[in-house]
Chains A and B, each alone.
Chain A
Amino acid sequence: MNLTTTYMGLTLRTPLVPSASPLSEEIDNIKRMEAAGAAAVVMHSLFEEQLRLERYELHHHLTYGTESFAESLTYFPEPALFHVGPEEYLEHIQRAKASVDIPIIASLNGSTVGGWTDYARQIEQAGADALELNIYYVPTDMELTGEGVEQTYLDILKAVKSVVTIPVAVKLSPYFSNMAHMAKRLDAAGANALVLFNRFYQPDINLETLEVEPNVLLSTPHSMRLPLRWIAILYGHLQTDLAATSGIHKATDALKMLMAGAQVTMLCSVLLRHGISQIRVIEEEMQAWMEEHEYSSVRQLQGSMSQKNCPDPSAFERAQYTRALQSYRPV
């Protein structure tokens, strides 16, 4: 059974890749992922905005209240050097590289052009095999056009591509007027892969405290439907690779994604819920299913159920929606 796949030019033993999550913050976990059969690891994200915020905070707190009172002109010792950049993240990449043999894909999260290129360059120097740009952007400015939003994505990608030679993936949200057109533009701008999709954590209202609170929900199996649909639609039309993420909990989920046209299937919630060893379980089940159904390789099934290749292409479009309604009968 050949489970091999390629992703952004990297040859992977299987399509199963843990996506960016807090799990990769520990080197031990990365080793366990490799041991459990992960084909590559997307590292937890380096948050550009958080670094920036921390720098402002550090500066503020080191100066706040100083030079006001004769006895306490300062409140903190000031070391000669601060590690206010991504040093820790870069060291982590280096350590991860040294600890495992599978490819390490770094992840960079932010929303502005500033900072991306510097960090991307440093991440490449630290030894990452590829870079995933997680463009986490919720536009709220009413004056900003859809075109403007799309341009930001393209600018970031182009800026990063211009400074690194490692492959670059873009993890994006589905919230574009025309997802397919956006994918095409990113493809044209040189994205080596599109990771579909980013899940925005939606805030919640706490009725007791009357506060809006961040609310992290792990994905459920039905979250995979949206990426499944778009991967199926995009497959075969672009140069860029497609990676599936969101809602892949079982071997059958992964198989569906691969059939839709994904090069890799990314795992997150399932690992957080059931542990890293679940990678091995999914791989074994995947293999069992393929053996049972007489598939000899992943390549064989990749894209087989894409819009292009599936028996009923309209099922991925609006027709499918109307039919779904028609087929629904209350009991």
Chain B
Amino acid sequence: MMSTGILQQRIFATLDGDEAVASVTYRLNEVIALYPITPSTPIGEWADAWAAEGKPNLWGTVPSVVEMQSEGGVAGVMHGALQTGSLATTFTASQGLLLMIPNMYKIAGELTPTVFHVAARSVATQALSIFGDHSDVMATRATGFALLCSASVQEAQDFALIAQVVTLESRIPFLHFFDGFRTSHEIAKIERLSDDDLRAMIDPQRILEHRARALSPDHPVLRGTSQNPDVFFQARETVNPFYAACPEITQRAMDQFGQLTGRHYRLFEYYGAPDAERVIVLMGSGCEAVQETVDFLNQRGKKVGLIKVRLYRPFDRERFVAALPETTKAIAILDRTKEPGSIGEPLYLDCAMAIYETPLERENYKASRTFPPLLRGDQGGIVGGRYGLSSKEFTPAMIKGVFDNLAQEYPKNHFTIGINDDVSHTSLPYDPEFSTEADHVVRCVFYGLGSDGTVGANKNSIKIIGEQTNNYAQGYFVYDSKKSGSVTISHLRFGPEPIHSTYLVSRANFVGCHQSVFLERFDMLQPLVEGGTFLLDTAYGPDEIWNHLPQTMQEQLVSKHLKFYVIDAHKVARESGMGGRINTVMQVCFFALAGILPRDGAISEIKQSIQKTYGKKGDEIVQMNLNAVDQTLERLFAVEIPERTVETRNFASLHAPVSDHAPAFVRDVLGKMISGQGDTLPVSALPVDGTFPTGTAQWEKRNIAQEIPVWDPDVCIQCGKCVMVCPHSVIRGKVYEPGVLEGAPATFKSAEAHDHDWQGLKFTIQVAAEDCTGCGICVDVCPAKNKSIPSLKAINMQAQAPLREPERENWDFFLSVPNPDRRDLNTTLIRQQQMQEPLFEFSGACAGCGETPYIKLASQLFGDRMVVANATGCSSIYGGSLPTTPWTKNAEGRGPAWSNSLFEDNAEFGLGFRLSIDKQKEFAVELLKKLSGALGDDLVQAIVSAEQKDEADIYEQRERVAVLKQRLQTLDSEEAKQLLSLADLLVKKSVWIIGGDGWAYDIGFGGLDHVLSSGRNVNVLVLDTEVYSNTGGQMSKATPRAAVAKFAAGGKPAPKKDLGLMAMTYGNVYVASVAMGARDEHTLKVFLEAEAYEGPSLIIAYSHCIAHGINMATAMQNQKAAVNSGQWLLYRFHPGRAERGENPLQLDSRSPKIPLEKYLYLENRFKMLTKSSPAVAKQLLKEAQQDVADHWHLYEYLAARGVQVPTEGGQPE
């Protein structure tokens, strides 16, 4: 192996951690198996993209990239691929890694070289979290995998190679991990590893050895035996020499790597003052911030240092102890994980034990060195603490807090840093004002909306600066938990030295506000330093803007001597043809003002980058952006800052995030999170078991719609369709007595109710103006047209701002109008059923979401007795992401009870609900019967025999149960108390198992299949978007043939799995396929039938999705086209019909009446294939059309098939 030293020309690139890892591991493997899970998903997506392009690995062959049905499946593939001699890898995180554990034991037990790359992420406990900590990695400590940790994007790339080198030589499988988001998604300028670098490091002989160990019938062996008590133990101990050798091999590889690249790494890398007295030990991205802080403190005369832990397993005790300066007096070992009930977290325990064990072998050391004071028995100098769980910020201020703790005579042990633990008092104090932000680093913060392209522009700017200048660059992006109207905050740094600041920008010298509505929401000038620059996108010109700024902002502009610029970016973008995407405009402004590059040079770079980015999409797209560039500079103006502030209109600026009328918990806890101050909440503010109240989304008035629907009572035919399709439950209808209108606000609208059943009543459609996302889907489905101006309907979009105040008042009044009595509504008619109160409202789902209308429908029909098991995915994110939940309750306090278990086990989770509820009800009935004498036989009999088939029955049963509870309270027996606690279960409960296609078709299918076969009364709602929506459009088995998705970039070659048909084969499962946009009455009928069926029910609901690449406002038309083309069938399979001697299957859609092409090419997921692979698109279209025909004929046959009815003798007739 050769090394050319560091003299060769290094290549720099600006990329994120995931891409950096992908670029190395792709080149070093032959088989890549994976399953999408945040934040590791992009690694696999890069691999897939490269494989689709035919990019070869280091040895000239294109790796096989396969997406599996779950991480459990991936682990199996890995084990198999490795056992048969391939170089194989995978990427995962969190629960995904946990699903791999069983096979990881096997892979390690068989000494199989491989590297798993993990973007470390919290494991779900009291809540799911997609953000970074080491709890997933720590759960694999016992598997036998080596654990190698990288702390930055540069290291993530480098260690991807080092891990591969070492695993091949040591035969120990490696888990290479880095912090989720902080490293996986941070964009940084790094030195790239060339193919030559890789070749210089990888010893081909080791690959041959790996292959030689492969299972092959040409030299057969047996592996995976079952061993008995006689030998298992000894066999287990055979591997010790391999683990003993691994650290040395790793250090050797690092040394070789250092020679090659100039980047030197050590297993335990000490950084800081040679004579440090206080040392922090940690691993992961936090090392970078600690390094920065150490530099800062040492420059000011302190004696501090840190040990970066690279190779955590196998733990090299001697190297660790040797890395500590002899002057060390106190060590803080920091863990980014929590292990409840332990003496301390894993890294702390390991390090403490390493130190503890060292004196025992002192003889070995004596000759070589003296011992630090703390090792001479003063164990009080070793403390452990937790930091940064789930990407909690870990800043120099906190780090200084840890060093300060070490300076105490008795440092606090088992501490936390970065939170306020007012319950167990673990937290260390720190001074949040402490900062190490360096003057030579340009630090910028940008506030944007997801839809405006801000993040994309910033990523582009980082690339330009990183790749066209000598500056180092860093970008990190913070997104909120909503999918519609989401705010993005970009944190960028640029500077001449490598940037180690792995925390958000705390002191900015440039702030860009890309949406003027944010002036009301964020105190964005607060982080700006004296003399900094503020850039605002606003419709007001430089002479007008001052009078339209919140006064606090004026004060900051004056007192901090800030430079202030305005541009009407939205206007420039609009006029350039870019709609709401102001990315290019704001990027130009940034370069013009930030002065990082000379202005002309910067503009030319932007133009080149536009050409590069958009060239493949056509000249128009390039030209559109170039126009925007040219127009921007002319319309960017400096604002002369007056010496004084003026009184401006009373901005809702930094107003209370929720109404004063909200419950205390919503106001004091959720409100803080809404306003972005969740970090300040103390431990005591949060529930101990992850339990939160429902009905909280109503308090979070987001006001994100530019336009909202406005009802025209004169045109309205009162069909209820707009209410039904509204994905956010912001359109509501009520019928009520005319007298209610007394005291109504002046602009409150009503009409005579049309329905025959409602003679003499009034009817109102009301819009929640402040909760609407402005998707416009209601307008599209409205069937009523204004006869004089047919471009207008009974509901029309109008600007929100002028309507906000009056409609707020109208909404409040509307809420005070009583809901119609559920017993009086004919729930089989949409126009009446839609008067039922939804118990799912104002979710943060994408504007125009195709899933939520189904959930809302279920909540209207059954919400007051519904318990929901929700698979992980979009529906668990918009359903259960803090700060608020759309699940709510009615005036009686009843509503859906909701929980999310895991991605893979949702069906089983829901079955658990059913078993438990049924068992408790059974016990309640037994107790009822026992206590019948005391409770009254009539009451007991009535309760036990109640059928509870409709709303009236349920109402009566509730009345009976209320009486029962009263009577039980007069009885003083153990059984009466038991029954009292179970009495509510005597009212029928509706169990719903809800999830997406990724769950139902892939990862959860095994469980779903089992639950369907159980015969138990559960209702399964599959929100079928035909793609993994939540993780960004990866193929699932529900993805139809010819659709483009990630991992099906060339169009999915196989047809969609027919989940419904599979379920029908059980015979006793109610199965239905619906598409609300095609036939809403059918959808309603299905929900009613499914719930009424006393066995398992499966509803497969076509859910249009932003991941289809469609116009969301007219998405219900896509549903209709899907059905009209025969791509999506509507049917019901009712086992009850079979019992009556009828064919259980009813086809509810007609034979295809439009060519499939007419539907498919409405959607980018199909259409884009005609642009990327025209010939393949043609072929797949043909095949897909054939699928439609075959599918239709099969169902036609099944629905027409005669049914044999068993005779009394048991023989079919």
**Chain A residues with a Cβ under 8 A of chain B:** 51-52, 54-85, 87-88, 210-211
Known: A58-B1164, A76-B1044, A77-B52. A67 touches B488 (CB 8 A): yes
User: Do B456 and A66 touch across chains, with their CB atoms under 8 A apart?
Assistant: yes
Inside 8 A of B877's CB, which chain A residues have their CB? Answer: 71
Q: Are B53 and A56 in contact (CB under 8 A)?
A: no
**Interface assignment of B1030: CB less than 8 Å from any CB of chain A:** yes
The one of B455, B479, B617, B790 that contacts A82, using a Cβ cutoff of 8 Å: B617
Could you tell me the distance between the alpha carbons of A65 and B486 in the complex, rounded to whole angstroms? 10
List the 6 closest A-B pairs by CB distance, nearest first.
A68-B450, A72-B1032, A61-B1109, A61-B1164, A55-B618, A67-B455
Q: Which residues of B contact A70 (CB under 8 A)?
A: 38-39, 130, 181, 185, 479
Determine if B790 and A210 form an interchain contact, defined as CB atoms under 8 angstroms apart: yes
A–B pairs, 29, beta carbons within 8 Å? A52-B618, A55-B617, A55-B618, A55-B621, A56-B621, A58-B1167, A58-B1168, A59-B621, A61-B1168, A62-B1164, A65-B1106, A66-B456, A68-B451, A69-B479, A69-B486, A70-B38, A70-B39, A71-B1031, A75-B1032, A75-B1033, A76-B1044, A76-B1045, A76-B1164, A77-B52, A81-B1172, A82-B616, A82-B617, A83-B1170, A210-B785
Q: Indicate if the CB atoms of A65 and B450 lie closer than 8 Å.
A: yes
B1049: which A residues are within 8 A, CB to CB?
Answer: 77, 79
Query: Which of B38, B456, B618, B1044 interacts with A67 by CB under 8 Å?
Result: B456
User: Across the interface, which residues of A come within 8 angstroms of B790, CB to CB?
Assistant: 210-211
Chain B interface residues (CB < 8 Å from chain A): 38-39, 41-42, 45, 48-49, 52-53, 130, 181, 185, 449-451, 453-456, 477, 479, 482-483, 486, 488, 577, 579, 581, 614, 616-618, 620-621, 785, 790, 846, 877, 1029-1033, 1044-1047, 1049, 1106-1107, 1109-1110, 1164-1165, 1167-1168, 1170-1174
Docked-complex contact A81 and B1110, CB < 8 angstroms:
no
Q: A62-B1168, A76-B1164 are in contact. List 8 more A-B contacts (CB 8 A).
A: A58-B1164, A59-B618, A61-B1164, A62-B1109, A69-B479, A71-B1031, A79-B49, A82-B617
A184 to chain B, nearest CB (A): 35
Bound-state Cα–Cα, A46 to B1031, Å: 38
Residues of chain B within 8 A of A57, CB atoms compared: 1164, 1167
Q: Quick check: B45 and A77 within 8 Å, CB to CB? A: yes
- Nearest A residue to B617, CB-CB: A59
B451 to A, closest residue via Cβ: A68
Chain A residues, CB < 8 A from B1045: 76-77
From the candidates B42, B581, B846, B1033, name the one contacting A63 in the complex (CB within 8 A).
B581
B462 to chain A minimum Cβ distance, whole angstroms, is: 13
| Chain A residues with CB below 8 A from B181, complex form | 70
**A79 partner residues in chain B, CB cutoff 8 A:** 49, 52-53, 1049, 1172-1173
**Contact between B130 and A67 (Cβ–Cβ < 8 Å)?**
no
Chain B residues near A83 (CB-CB < 8 A): 1170-1172, 1174
Contacts of A64 in B (CB 8 A): 451, 1106, 1109
Contacting pair A74 B1172 (CB below 8 A): no
Contact check, A76 vs B621: say whether CB atoms are below 8 A apart: no
In the complex, the chain B residue whose C-beta lies closest to that of A85 is B618
Q: With a CB–CB cut-off of 8 A, which chain B residues contact A62?
A: 617, 1109, 1164, 1168
Q: Would A71 and B1171 be within 8 Å (CB), given that A61-B1109, A64-B1106 are in contact?
A: no
Query: In the complex, how many angstroms separate the beta carbon of A46 from the nearest chain B beta carbon?
Result: 14
Across the interface, A54 reaches (CB within 8 A) one of B454, B577, B1171, namely B1171
B1032 touches A71 (CB 8 A): yes
Shortest Cβ distance from A56 into B: residue = B620
Q: Is the CB of B621 within 8 A of A71?
A: no
Nearest residue, chain A, Cβ from B783: A209
Please tell me if the beta carbons of B486 and A72 are within 8 angstroms of each other in the complex: no
Main SS of chain B's interface residues? mixed
Once the chains are docked, how many angstroms separate the CA of A210 from the CA of B789?
Answer: 10
Q: How far is the CA of A162 from the CA of B1109 in the complex (A)?
A: 40
When distances are taken between beta carbons in the complex, the residues of chain A under 8 Å from B456 are 63, 66-67
What's the minimum C-beta distance from B295 to chain A, rounded to whole angstroms? 31
Q: Are A84 and B617 in contact (CB under 8 A)?
A: yes
Centre residue among A55, A66, A70, A88 by max chain B CB count within 10 A:
A70
| B846 CB contacts on chain A under 8 angstroms | 65
> Whole-angstrom distance between the alpha carbons of A62 and B1165 in the complex?
10
Question: Considering the chains assembled together, what is the distance between the CA atoms of A55 and B790 in angstroms?
Answer: 31
Q: Which residues from B are CB-within-8-Å of A67? A: 450, 453-456, 477, 488
B residues less than 8 Å from A78 (CB atoms): 49
Assembly CA distance A70 to B39 (angstroms): 8
Identity of the chain A residue whose Cβ is nearest the Cβ of B625 in the assembled complex: A59
Measured between C-beta atoms, what is the minimum distance from B1094 to chain A in Å?
38
B1171 lies within 8 A of A84 (CB): yes
Q: Which chain A residues border B1033 with CB–CB below 8 Å?
A: 72, 74-77
**A88 to B1178 Cα, complex, angstroms:** 11
- Residues of A near B451 (CB, < 8 A) are 64-65, 68
Q: Which residue of B lies closest to A68 (CB)?
A: B450
Closest Cβ of chain B to A161, distance in Å, is 22
Docked Cα-Cα span, A214 to B42, in Å, equals 44
Q: How far is the CA of A56 from the CA of B578 in the complex (A)?
A: 10
Contact assessment for B1109 and A76 in the assembled complex, using a CB-CB cutoff below 8 Å: yes
For residue A54, which residues in chain B have a CB less than 8 angstroms away from its CB? Answer: 1167, 1171
Contacts of B620 in A (CB 8 A): 52, 55-56
Nearest neighbor of B1046 in chain A, beta-carbon distance: A77
Q: How far is the CB of A213 from chain B (nearest CB, A)?
A: 13
Alpha-carbon separation in the docked complex, A77 to B482 (Å): 23
- Are B1030 and A71 in contact (CB-based, < 8 A)? yes
CB distance from B514 to the nearest CB of A (A): 12
In the bound complex, do residue B1171 and residue A59 qualify as a contact, i.e. CB atoms below 8 Å apart? Answer: no
**Residues of A contacting B38 in the complex (Cβ-Cβ under 8 angstroms):** 70-71
CA distance A324 to B611 in the complex (A): 63
> Are B1168 and A76 within 8 A (Cβ)?
yes
Q: How far is the CA of A63 from the CA of B581 in the complex (A)?
A: 10
B39 / chain A contacts, CB cutoff of 8 Å: 70
Which of chain B's residues has its CB closest to A67's CB? Answer: B455
Tell me the smallest distance from the CB of A1 to a CB of chain B, in Å.
Answer: 42
Closest to B1031 in A: A71
Residues in A neighbouring B621, C-beta threshold 8 A: 55-56, 59
Contacts of B41 in A (CB 8 A): 71
- Rounded to whole Å, the gap between the CB of B1167 and the closest CB of chain A is 8
Residue of B nearest to A80 (CB): B53
> Separation in Å of the B459 CB from the closest CB of chain A?
8
Q: How far is the CA of A72 from the CA of B1165 in the complex (A)?
A: 16
In the assembled complex, the Cα of A296 lies from the Cα of B504 at a distance in Å of 90
Cα(A72)–Cα(B1107), bound, Å: 9
Complex: chain B residue closest to A210, CB-CB: B790
In the complex the two chains form, is A59's CB within 8 Å of B614's CB?
yes
A77 & B1044 in contact (Cβ 8 Å cutoff):
yes
Q: Is the CB of B616 within 8 A of A88?
A: no
Chain B neighbourhood of A80, CB < 8 A: 53, 616
Contact of B1171 among A56, A68, A73, A82 (CB under 8 A): A82
In the complex, the answer to whether B1171 meets A58 with C-beta atoms within 8 Å is: yes
- CB pair B479 A76 closer than 8 Å: no
How far does the Cβ of B846 sit from chain A's closest Cβ, in whole Å?
Answer: 7
Residues of chain B lying within 8 A (CB to CB) of residue A81: 616, 1172
Give chain B residues whose Cβ lies under 8 Å from the Cβ of A55. Answer: 617-618, 620-621
Are A63 and B453 touching (Cβ within 8 A)?
yes
The answer for the CA separation of A129 and B785 in the assembled complex, in Å, is 51
What residues of chain B lie closer than 8 Å to A71, measured between beta carbons? 38, 41, 130, 877, 1030-1032
The reply to whether A72 and B618 contact each other, CB–CB distance below 8 Å, is: no
| Chain B residues positioned under 8 Å from A77 (CB to CB) | 45, 48-49, 52, 1033, 1044-1047, 1049
Q: How far is the CA of A81 from the CA of B1045 in the complex (A)?
A: 16
Closest A residue to B786 using CB positions: A210
Shortest Cβ distance from A88 into B: residue:
B1174
Give chain B nearest CB distance to A238 CB in angstroms: 36
CB distance from B460 to the nearest CB of A (A): 11
Residues of A within 8 A of B618 (CB): 51-52, 55, 58-59, 82, 84-85
Nearest chain B CB to A34 CB, angstrom units: 23
Q: Is the CB of B1030 within 8 A of A68?
A: no
Looking at the assembled complex, report how far the CB atom of A126 sits from the nearest CB atom of chain B, in whole angstroms: 15
